[in-house]
Chains A and B, each alone.
Chain A
Amino acid sequence: MTLEEKKQQVIEDFSLYDEWLDKYEYLIELGKALEPFPEEKKTEDRLIKGCQSRVWLDSEVRDGKLFFTADSDAIITKGIISLLIGVYSGRTPEEIAADDFGFVGEIGLKENLSPTRANGLVSMIETIKKVAENGR
């Protein structure tokens, strides 16, 4: 699936739910489904700054593509980072760095988080972008 197709799919999945509580349920499911993140990788340098809960992000390059793993001690936040890395994992650094992350706005995620939590989302996006830019 191309990056555009994947983003479209996320937008469609999200639009299935009218109520925000249902959207949270969906994010919780995504969070729970995220593959386990090794305890020893929960280090200070992998912490994303600016989130109310703790979020760790790790990345590696395989065959010129970036692969992300992540974890959080809060499950909705974990669902959000899971959604993001589900879209961007396995793409080239160039492709990620060039993306505008506009689909996050389309699903209304940012607008529906309180300012402190929206800042957390922005921090997650910026960290993913920075990893991509450094990996180019």
Chain B
Amino acid sequence: MDMSVSSLRAQFPILSRTVYGKPLVYLDNAASAQRPLMVADCWRKLSLEENANIHRAVHALAGQATDAYEGTRDAVKEFLHASAREEIVFTSGATAAVNLVAFSFGEAYVREGDDIVVSVDGHHSNIVPWQMLCERKKAVLKVLDISENGGLLVSDLEKCISERTKLVAISHISNVLGLVNPVKEIVQICHKKGVPVLVDGAQGIVHESVDVQDLDCDFYVFSGHKLYAATGTGVLYGKKKWLDAIPPYMGGGEMIATVRFSGTTYAPLPEKFEAGTQNFNAVPTLVPAMALVKEMRADAAVLQEQEAILDFFYTKLTEDERITLYGTDRSAKVPLFSFGVKGAHHEDLALILDKMGIALRSGQMCAEPLMDRLGVTGLLRASFAPYNTLEEAEYFIKCLNKAITMLV
């Protein structure tokens, strides 16, 4: 293990704990990443030293808390390379952000007989809100398929889009297939037809440097907890023209300009979409989390270890005849692997691997339509973060082989 990988690991105290007396090997990062010290310190400082409700009060603490919260908006704007800070809306997570758009965009633009296009590799959070919208408006939900190697079938996209298509909602990286979808190309195709695009970046933001102006997507959503920040934080990026045009999602404090029983006017962006007390102790943890992400992406040794893991794991899983890997397009692959084992149930494998200290995901991974499409009842998923090591990947393969021997 390289020095910079071991010093990176030292920032995540949980990585040195044991489970069942064995060293923890945490490979469930796609579900939630671990928290580094600097994120915990940030939360602790805000909670114990700078806690006060933001925006309204004139006292010193409220000022500090507001600065931390609004400073985070600027940092996220930089991180996503958005064109204005008003385009960054804080939510409780990616799911809340998709629901916000599905409701507010739906209210403004979707009518009976219109349609929305989603993708078969979508997480339930980027399918169900659209399904609910379609039910509410008597609109039609259309589905973009994947190709044999797991990538979105971009060649089918034009066919999916009709005169009545109001929005296309896709994932940057599927949480099952682990492939980077060609978002920029997809956006270009959709825009040529005048259709806006929402990108679920819950996994994408973790593995890719995102420039929303370059992608030209209309909405981009992600969760903080998968990016090493505190749970209950999330971001909706939306182009100003859309956020201005769509109505508020929730009513309440903060989101208003004036309130009269004769009628209420709403606050300008971004407060218009931030009703009620915000998660102000947690949102600023995005700042150290994003700083760490930038640091990891600039660290040659960390990148090299990641590349080595990707190579090793991809090779091991694809050359083993007992194993079927889903999402095989090597050029688009990130270190997130979902696979099945011939003759062994994913639940059995996960149970045995758990006892060997390995945390990974088994089951449908919030993507039932994709499981149906692949013809499986569930899969195993190992998802890596930059603090994982090649040694851990090797240990996993050894344990997987032992588990398979026990079962088959």
Binding site for B on A (CB under 8 A): 20-21, 24-25, 28, 52-54, 73-77, 113-114, 117
Binding site secondary structure of chain A: helix
Please name all residues of chain B whose beta carbon is closer than 8 Å to the beta carbon of A21 when the two chains form the complex.
352, 355-356, 406
Chain A residues, CB < 8 A from B354: 114
| A54 / chain B contacts, CB cutoff of 8 Å | 377
Q: Within the assembled complex, what's the spacing in Å between the Cα atoms of A14 and B378? A: 30
Q: Are B377 and A73 in contact (CB under 8 A)?
A: yes
Q: What's the minimum C-beta distance from B21 to chain A, rounded to whole angstroms?
A: 10
Complex Cα distance, B346 from A54, in Å, reads 12
Find chain B residues with CB under 8 A from A76 CB: 347-348, 351-352
How many interface contacts (CB-CB < 8 Å) are there between A and B?
A: 42
CA distance A25 to B362 in the complex (A): 20
Q: In whole angstroms, what is the CA distance A52 to B348 when docked? A: 10
B261: Cβ under 8 A from any A Cβ: no
- B residues adjacent to A (C-beta < 8 A): 20, 344-345, 347-348, 351-352, 354-356, 362-363, 377-378, 406-407
Query: Which B-chain residue is minimally distant from A76 (CB atoms)?
Result: B348
Q: What's the minimum C-beta distance from A34 to chain B, rounded to whole angstroms?
A: 15
Query: What are 27 contact pairs spanning A and B, CB under 8 A?
Result: A20-B20, A20-B355, A21-B355, A21-B406, A24-B351, A24-B352, A24-B406, A28-B348, A52-B363, A53-B345, A53-B347, A54-B377, A73-B345, A73-B377, A74-B347, A74-B348, A75-B344, A75-B345, A75-B348, A76-B347, A76-B348, A76-B351, A76-B352, A77-B345, A77-B347, A114-B354, A117-B351
With A21-B355, A74-B345 already in contact, 18 other A-B pairs whose C-beta atoms are closer than 8 Å: A20-B20, A20-B355, A24-B352, A24-B406, A28-B406, A52-B363, A54-B377, A73-B377, A74-B347, A75-B344, A75-B345, A75-B348, A76-B347, A76-B351, A76-B352, A77-B348, A113-B351, A117-B351
